[in-house]
Amino acid sequence: MRHQEIERHPRRWFASIANKASQAAGRASAFVMACAVIVIWAVTGPLFQFSDTWQLVINTGTTIVTFLMVFLIQNSQNRDSAAIQVKLDELIRTGSVQNSFVGIEHLSADELEELRARCEERAKAVAAERRGSGGRRPSRSRDDAGG
C-alpha cells in the first residue's frame, strides 16, 4: 500500500527520493567516494595530458552534482523546518507559555528582531533577579511568557 501511495502522489515520490538521497549524501561513505573520484580524476591528469576535456569532465560533473544537491538540501531543510515549527507550536500550545508565540515565523524580520530583543531583555532580568534572590526561581508573570 505504501508503494502505491508514493506512486499516486508526485510530491510524496519526490519527498521520498529527496529524503533517501540527502541521507545517503550525508554519510561518510559518500564523502569518501567523492574524494576517491577527485583522486582518480587527478591521477588520470597525466594520462590525458591535463587536457581541456580532462578539466571539463570534473567541472561538468561537480556542477551537475551541486545543482541537484541544492534542490535536495532545500527540500530536506524545508521539511525539517516545518516539522520543528509544528513541534514547537505544539509545545507552546500545551505548555504554560503564552500562545502568542505560535505563528511568529510569519512576522517580518524587523518584528522578529524586536521580539528577540524583548525576550533577551526579559531573560537578563530574570537571571539578575535569580542572582539577587540566592538562586531561587521567581514566580512567572504574564510578561515572562512573551505577552
pTM: 0.56
CA-closest candidate to residue 122, choices 97, 92, 96, 146 = 146
- Calculate ∠ Cα 145-146-147, nearest 5°: 105
Q: What pLDDT shows up at residue 62? A: 95
Tell me whether residue 11 is exposed, middle or buried, using C-beta atoms within 10 angstroms of its C-beta: 0 to 12, 13 to 18, 19 or more. exposed
pLDDT by 10s per residue, the chain, length 147: 455 555 567 778 887 888 888 889 989 999 999 999 999 999 999 999 999 999 999 999 999 999 999 988 888 888 888 888 787 777 777 776 666 777 777 778 788 888 888 888 888 888 898 888 765 554 554 444 444
Q: Give the cell for residue 22.
A: 540527502
The answer to whether residues 26 and 70 touch, using CB atoms and an 8 Å cutoff, is no
What one-character-per-residue DSSP string does 76-88 give? HHHHHHHHHHHHH
Q: CA 145, CA 25: separation in Å to the nearest integer?
A: 41
Q: How far apart are CA 41 and CA 46, in angstroms?
A: 10
Burial of 88 (0-12, 13-18, 19+ CB in 10 A): middle
Give the per-residue pLDDT at 77: 85
Residue 72, C-beta contacts closer than 8 angstroms, at least 6 positions apart: 18, 21, 22, 25
